[in-house]
Amino acid sequence: MIKDNCSPYYRCACYCSFKLLRIRKTLSLNKYMLIQWYPGHMHKASKEIKQTLHQIDIVIEVLDARIPFSSQNPMLSRLRGDKPCIKVLSKSDLADPNITQQWQSYLEQEQGVKSIAITVEQPDKIRNLTDLCHKMLPEKSGTDRLINTLIVGIPNVGKSTLINILAGRVIAKTGNEPAITKMQQRIAIGNGIVLMDTPGVLWPNVENKNSGYRLATTGAIKDTAIDHEQIADFAAEYLLVHYPDLIKERFNLIELPSSSSVLLDAIGKSRGCLRSGGKVDRDRVSKILLAELRSGMIGRLSFETPVMMEQELAELLIIQAEKAAKKEARKSKHKKPT
């Protein structure tokens, strides 16, 4: 039996198996390698979050509006229990506005969850977060009791900038590189609210391979830990399917390329990314595509929708079930008869 207040993602996981098998893939989960980037300070931060949660009244989780599901920490979803949560969709000026609205409606299906889409150009809207905290905790509003708030998010999602705006002063170091914040800190921001800031945290194993590549595409994973060509290939394939007009306009293409490889070659030739013999420098053109995508120069892009993620989660369940069955079969094969 599925509880009414459970996560929409959990409800999705409970679909009947015959329905799962009918889902068609847009991008294969098996096509791309698994990305793992988990520096030591992230492991430490994850342990500190677990130890801190019992002191917390409300959680603010900062998500990348372009990838709200992939940038959501599955560990936090399990640990926070019934504590209220505000999902902040950061960098919404870079995301497709129609898809951002879909995500807000979808996320708020979960009991105790509110969402807000923001950009760093909207400081007044960001400051409204304190009012929302009070509204979600009416038992503390109008009293002298402090609201203890945990603010979490993946690397490079804009969490530090948000904290500085809320505090009205520079508290957290900011930058375009992931993993700037390295240690936990408590910050009083006024209006009876104390923030517990944590370093940007990923998780040891991003099981959905597409999510791993979305994180890398949007810049959540350090560039020194990724293969630019593979990530650019992933991004190019997605953009050809979902944003063909923006691709044609940005790169002055008369016709839409037939594949990601052809697209990257076309961009390379038009931008002069050539090696001796006229061969396209794939590493250089891959970095150009990712830089322009991340900065919004191509246009407002979202890399996942609620429907897409339900499909991928269902597919992932099938893969996990198959792996479990094979593991059990191996155990049975090697089990000694009694």
Whether 46 and 123 map to the same domain: the answer is yes
Q: What is the pLDDT of residue 181?
A: 46
Domain containing 246: what range?
227-295
Q: What is the pLDDT of residue 133?
A: 93
Residues of the chain above pLDDT 90, percent: 44
Q: What is the pLDDT of residue 336?
A: 63
21 assigned to some structural domain:
no
Whether 54 and 178 map to the same domain: the answer is yes
- Distance (Å, rounded) from C-alpha 239 to C-alpha 34? 21
244 assigned to some structural domain:
yes
Whether 191 and 231 map to the same domain: the answer is no
Domain count within the chain: 2
Question: Of 279, 295, 311, which marks where a domain is finished?
Answer: 295
- Distance (Å, rounded) from C-alpha 176 to C-alpha 200? 13
Q: What is the pLDDT of residue 137?
A: 93
Question: Of 149, 176, 197, which marks where a domain is finished?
Answer: 197
51 assigned to some structural domain:
yes
Whether 166 and 92 map to the same domain: the answer is yes
Higher pLDDT: 147 or 10? It is 147
Whether 176 and 46 map to the same domain: the answer is yes
**Is residue 83 scored above 80 in pLDDT?**
yes
Tell me what the pLDDT averaged over the chain comes to: 81
338 assigned to some structural domain:
no
Q: Which of 282, 216, 169 is nearest to 34 (CA)?
A: 216
Q: What is the pLDDT of residue 61?
A: 93
User: 206: Cβ–Cβ under 8 A, 6 or more apart, which residues?
Assistant: 34, 35, 36, 70, 212, 215
CATH of the domain at 163: 3.40.50.300
What's the whole-model pTM score?
0.80
248 assigned to some structural domain:
yes
Whether 83 and 176 map to the same domain: the answer is yes
**Is residue 249 scored above 60 in pLDDT?**
yes
270 assigned to some structural domain:
yes
Whether 165 and 277 map to the same domain: the answer is no
**Is residue 16 scored above 70 in pLDDT?**
no
Whether 142 and 50 map to the same domain: the answer is yes
- Per-residue pLDDT, averaged over 102-123, amounts to 93
Q: What is the pLDDT of residue 41?
A: 45
Q: What is the pLDDT of residue 206?
A: 62
**Is residue 26 scored above 60 in pLDDT?**
no
82 assigned to some structural domain:
yes
Whether 162 and 240 map to the same domain: the answer is no
**Is residue 270 scored above 90 in pLDDT?**
yes
**Is residue 96 scored above 70 in pLDDT?**
yes
CATH of the domain at 239: 1.10.1580.10
Whether 232 and 179 map to the same domain: the answer is no
**Is residue 37 scored above 70 in pLDDT?**
no
125 assigned to some structural domain:
yes
- Per-residue pLDDT, averaged over 37-59, amounts to 69
Local confidence band at 13 (pLDDT 50, 70, 90 cut-offs): very low
Whether 138 and 270 map to the same domain: the answer is no
Q: Which of 74-78, 170-174, 304-308, 319-323 has the lowest mean pLDDT?
A: 170-174
Local confidence band at 208 (pLDDT 50, 70, 90 cut-offs): confident
Q: What is the pLDDT of residue 182?
A: 45
Whether 45 and 185 map to the same domain: the answer is yes
Question: Of 197, 218, 244, which marks where a domain is finished?
Answer: 197
Local confidence band at 232 (pLDDT 50, 70, 90 cut-offs): very high
Higher pLDDT: 49 or 262? It is 262
Q: What is the pLDDT of residue 31?
A: 45
